Amino acid sequence: MKRLLAFIKSPPFILAAITALAYGILAPQLGFYWDDLPIGWIRYQLGAEALTRYFSTNRPVVGILYQSLTSFLPYKPFAWQILALVLRWLSGVLVWKIFFQLFPRQKTLPLMASLLFLLYPGFNQQFVSFVYSSHFFALIFFLFSLFAMLKSFEQTRFSKFWAILGMLSSAANLFLGEYFFLLELLRIPIAWIMLENIAEFKERIRRMFLTCLPYFIIFLAAIIGRIFFIINETYEYSLLSELRIAPLLTLWNLTKTILLSLWTTLIAAWGQAFIPPDFELQGKVTITIYLGIIFISFMLAFFALYKNTREEANDNKIESGIRSRLFTLGLFSALLAGIPFWLTGLPVSLGFPANRATLPFILGSVLILLGLISLIPRRNLRIAFFALLIAFSAGRQFLWADEFRRDWKVQKNLFWQMSWRIPDLEENTTILLNEGALKFYADNSLSAPLNWIYAPETNAEEIPYMLFYPRTRFGVDGEKLEADMPLEHNFIAGEFNGNTSQMLLINFSPPGCLHIVDPEIDSENKFIADLLLRDAASFSRPELILVDGEPVLPEIYAPEPKHGWCYYFQKADLARQRGDWAQVVSLGKKAFASGDHPNDPTENFVFIEAYAHTNDWENAGQLSTSAKRVSPSYMKPLLCPLWERIAAETSNSPEKEEVLSLVMADLGCK
């Protein structure tokens, strides 16, 4: 029983409990996000060779890592979320170990550091599990290399063994990626601190040099490898060219960028912990769980720290010495973390996806925050403030998990509706999709499942479909969009070659259904909020949809959603394209009887047309009038061309003339 209680009180268990609270509760409901989709598609669909080619240009070792992981991990979100949880917890444990080695007489500081590191609220991409597994492996190798180096200072028979492990881990971090590349230099001041018992300055320098020399050789080898053996880097060092052109202005802008980055990652990031939830959007259940996480995390942190601080509170000399080291190490770490981003001009912000840049800043931010917290004079107040920060940081990560959960659900809904409406698609088609419905996906991300669904047999050389966001590819005002313009995109694993003359425009604005943009009507459709998509309506070619086929969604999209209004609407719109008006009417009956209703009044258009084509002019007129009432100013410019099309495509009859006359007069159509 004593052993069990000791285990429950141990830092690794506390870290595991808070990891589960902050990141794990919604893990079974989370999915794949951002580059999870294209990298997963390349590996599991195009094959291992395509994955090797994908990473060959800038991160070949990452390709090897993914080959290994995917050999036993299935492409199922829950499996990768569990891996992400374990990696995040392990990184926290290693930070605890490092601080314990650095400050052996401190009982509280290591646990505080590890909890802050675990829950840093400036980074919210923990749930992009497939992509960030490689980054967290690199982080773990980096942290373990620091820990192993610290262990090598102990005069035991295992010192050399720890030193070798540290060097191997350092090499693994350096060759896996660039996020923690320059942080390797942090071991210099850390070694200096560990050798503080050596009174003679020259001897201390000599020992520090000998300790860090093997790591420095590995560091130089990694730099040489990147310069000479990696064919093409993803990012260019734009700062160097800017310095040559305008040195003073560039230095001034660089200074502002550095200060802003430091403010963002070291200070502002922690304020995100206290952003209140959206009570209307997130609902009672989510808010209740959020409050429960805050309470439990506060209690865990408060009582874990309270019992260890009494003997430390009276040793002000030690406290002052530790504080100066925390600030020094923290600032040095933050500066090292920022150099790659400042050299390449990449933004460091708290928004998605740019907050990925905060990942290497976490350690420096934690060190500086610990120094600031140590300035709080009263022990109980210090512990209470820290526990509150931990509690709200855990709660904030849970709320982000909920945002990711909802975005996964919306993205699955997008592709299910697409599969209901589009049985098959002409090859080399570009889909232009409005931005805004999805938060954690780029258009490049969504192109992967598009190809997985409609080209399951594709090879790794030619990519038959591409999905673009209008502003991302054609400028804010669509200034780059021209008729008959070639469209090329290098997926690294393969290439897409299309043309603006072969585009299908889609509007997806939940809770409204997926809507195929109609070139004859939608140029005036203000229910399409994306102005660029509306202005480009004439580029939409619905005839690229092949009406025969049976698309099969990847297993990650199972199960199929319950059939409601949008299902019947999509099937009815497909039947309209086939010219099967009786089928449209039949599906309309099911849709209106489903208990659901259209969230976009233009979803009634397909049924108005069907009633007209089946000579049910009364229902056609009534449904048109009903749709118009939703928003007369928005609907009249859309209903007029709809009725003009109906008039041109249907046979004449007295009923038609009567209804047509009344409707056109009511709408004020020319």
Q: Tokens at residue 169, please?
A: 């881990």
Q: Report whether 30 contacts 36 (CB < 8 A).
A: no
Helix (H) or strand (E) holding 328: helix 316-344
Q: Tokens at residue 170, please?
A: 């350092």
Exposure string of 252-268, with b = 16+ CB inside 10 Å and e = fewer, is eebeebbeebbebbbee
User: How buried is residue 476: exposed, middle or buried, by Cβ count under 10 Å (0-12/13-18/19+)?
Assistant: exposed
Q: What's the first-to-final CA gap in the chain, in angstroms?
A: 87
**Residue 504: beta bridge partners?**
431
Q: Tokens at residue 662, please?
A: 């009344």
Kindly report whether the global pTM for this prediction surpasses the value 0.95.
Answer: no
pLDDT of 8 reads 65
Query: CA 286 to CA 270: how far, in whole Å?
Result: 22
Sheet strands side by side (includes 429-433): 465-468, 429-433, 503-507, 515-516
For the stretch 61-89, pLDDT in tens is 888 899 999 889 999 999 999 999 999 99
Among 516, 518, 488, smallest CA distance to 500 is for: 488
* Alpha-helical segments (H) within 345-438: 362-373, 379-421
For the stretch 410-440, pLDDT in tens is 999 999 999 999 999 999 999 999 998 999 9
Helix axes 129-152, 159-176, angle to 10 degrees: 150
pLDDT of 316 reads 42
Query: CA 626 to CA 648: how far, in whole Å?
Result: 23
What amino acid is encoded at 548 in this protein?
Answer: D
pLDDT of 309 reads 59
Q: Is the sign of the CA dihedral 248, 254, 255, 256 positive or negative?
A: positive
Q: Can you list the domains of the chain with their CATH numbers?
A: 2-30+76-404 (no CATH), 562-670 (1.25.40)
Q: Residue 553 to residues 269, 415, 417, 557: CA-CA distances in angstroms? A: 39, 8, 11, 6
Give the pairing type, strands 465-468 and 429-433: parallel
Compute CA 494 distance to the chain's CA centroid, rounded to the nearest angstrom.
23
Exposure string of 149-182, with b = 16+ CB inside 10 Å and e = fewer, is bbbbbeeeeeeeebbebbbebbbbbbbbbbbbbb
What φ, ψ does residue 599 adopt, rounded to 5°? -95, -5
Query: CA 474 to CA 151: how far, in whole Å?
Result: 55
Assign residue 322 a region: left if phi > 0, alpha if psi is -120 to 50, beta otherwise?
alpha
Assign 3-state DSSP to the chain and report helix, strand, coil percentages, each to 5.
Answer: 70, 5, 30
pLDDT of 237 reads 62
pLDDT of 444 reads 87
Query: CA 447 to CA 465: how far, in whole Å?
Result: 7
**Residue 503: beta bridge partners?**
430, 540
Among 502, 540, 425, 591, smallest CA distance to 605 is for: 591
Question: Strands, DSSP E only, in 494-612?
Answer: 495-499, 503-507, 515-516, 545-546
User: How buried is residue 305: exposed, middle or buried, by Cβ count under 10 Å (0-12/13-18/19+)?
Assistant: buried
Query: CA 527 to CA 511: how far, in whole Å?
Result: 12
pLDDT of 318 reads 46
Q: Report whether 122 contacts 362 (CB < 8 A).
A: yes
Among 607, 661, 645, smallest CA distance to 521 is for: 645
DSSP designation for 156: S
SS3 496: strand
* Alpha-helical segments (H) within 56-157: 60-70, 77-102, 109-119, 129-152
pLDDT of 353 reads 87
What amino acid is encoded at 463 in this protein?
Answer: I
Query: CA 514 to CA 467: how far, in whole Å?
Result: 15
Q: Residue length, the chain?
A: 670
Q: Report whether 430 contacts 500 (CB < 8 A).
A: yes
Helix (H) or strand (E) holding 169: helix 159-176
pLDDT of 278 reads 87
Per run of 10 residues, the mean pLDDT along the chain (length 670 residues) is 64 93 96 92 84 78 88 93 97 95 87 96 94 95 95 84 93 90 93 85 88 92 78 57 73 87 94 91 90 94 75 50 89 93 86 92 95 87 93 96 96 96 94 93 92 85 89 82 88 83 95 94 91 91 92 92 94 95 94 87 94 92 90 90 91 88 85
What φ, ψ does residue 53 adopt, rounded to 5°? -65, -35
Cis amide leading into 276 (omega within 30): no
Q: Which residue has the tokens 């690229």?
A: 544
pLDDT of 631 reads 87
pLDDT of 416 reads 97
